[in-house]
Amino acid sequence: MMKVPAYAAPSATDVLAPFEIERRQVGPHDVLIDIEYCGVCHSDIHFVRNEWGNAVYPAVPGHEIIGRVEKLGTEVTSFKKGELVGVGCMVDSCQNCEACAEHLEQYCENGSTATYGSPDPHLGGHTFGGYSGKIVVSDKFVLHVSEKLDTKAVAPLLCAGITTYSPLRKWNVKKGDKVGVIGLGGLGHMGIKLAHAMGAHVVMITRSAGKGNDARQLGADEVLISKDPKAMERHRNSFDFLLNTIPVGHDMNPYVSLLKRDATMVIVGAVEPLDPLHGGGLIMQRKRIAGSLIGGIQETQEMLDFCAEHNIVSDVEMITIQEINKAYERVVSADVKYRFVIDMKSLKTRSS
């Protein structure tokens, strides 16, 4: 095993602080990655603070990882030393169930291995994420990253990017479709960029008129203020697809009214109970509400290639690892446009 510097939370009430973890030695099918950047996802905060009740400690979060291949296992042929690569929310799955056979490892029927907080099948204990100097990952869960893109801004694509890309692809968003993106944050800003690149007519749906200029700069064709009853009525029954990125429980009834007959709203943000829904809004026009997680590895690679083709990255603010606790507070108060990314050189070259 190898010793690796990291930042960890010892408990739900402690801040993240310097910590040393162990990584396994590189096996025949493994890739050792020297981590250069790691995005900060709101899920990291939920986990560290045990807000979903599933945390294990010490917690080393981070599942938006960009780095370079440092060492390859003897059986690895699809990567080369020094190559720019990424690791997202998963580092393993059973590879045998129906979901895995369909390249839907995120829905593995035996439970995929999350990048952090899952039982570690190699070392015991639990997995540690990207707030660390290095990571060892099965080659099946390592992604090729184009050198054409702004490397540091690629990191959030591994979570926010694929979380929004996957439903857009699953529901076949295409040129000319009227697509609404509900909520302008880490997920919403990626939804706008991706739907725009797919050729859709993109409407940013927000409670805040002040976000209109930002939404248009990101690629939105229109901005719909959801607090304006007259504006909502004008758009009634007109959307081909809605991507709902609101991260907390909320009233979905006003948004359901925006859908066309047979159209779908997909929820990607609210991993918690939602307000009561009036069934009539769905029944009368055969409308649908669905949920979506991240994508599988094959689809995540497709997303990264699509972003390279269309020059799409996240809007990011760079921080050092020593600033992570302050960054968490700013994420909670929605004070970032639109994702923090940690420059991991700060872990390797600075003392806290």
Q: Residues 2-158+315-349: name the CATH superfamily.
A: Medium-chain alcohol dehydrogenases, catalytic domain (3.90.180.10)
Which DSSP string corresponds to 103-169? T-GGG-TT--EETTTSB-TTTSSB---SSBSEEEEEGGG-EE--TTS-HHHHGGGGTHHHHHHHHHH
Locate CATH 3.40.50.720 in the chain. 160-291
Locate CATH 3.90.180.10 in the chain. 2-158+315-349
Q: How would CATH label the architecture of 160-291?
A: 3-Layer(aba) Sandwich (3.40)
Q: Where are the beta strands (DSSP E) in the chain?
A: 2-8, 17-23, 30-40, 65-72, 84-87, 90-92, 113-114, 134-138, 143-144, 178-182, 201-206, 222-225, 239-244, 259-267, 288-291, 316-320, 339-343
Per-residue pLDDT tens digits of the chain, which is 352 residues long: 899 999 999 999 999 999 999 999 999 999 999 999 999 999 999 999 999 999 999 999 999 999 999 999 999 999 999 999 999 999 999 999 999 999 999 999 999 999 999 999 999 999 999 999 999 999 999 999 999 999 999 999 999 999 999 999 999 999 999 999 999 999 999 999 999 999 999 999 999 999 999 999 999 999 999 999 999 999 999 999 999 999 999 999 999 999 999 999 999 999 999 999 999 999 999 999 999 999 999 999 999 999 999 999 999 999 999 999 999 999 999 999 999 999 999 997 654 4
Distances (CA, A) of 159 to 32, 237, 279, 286: 21, 31, 32, 31
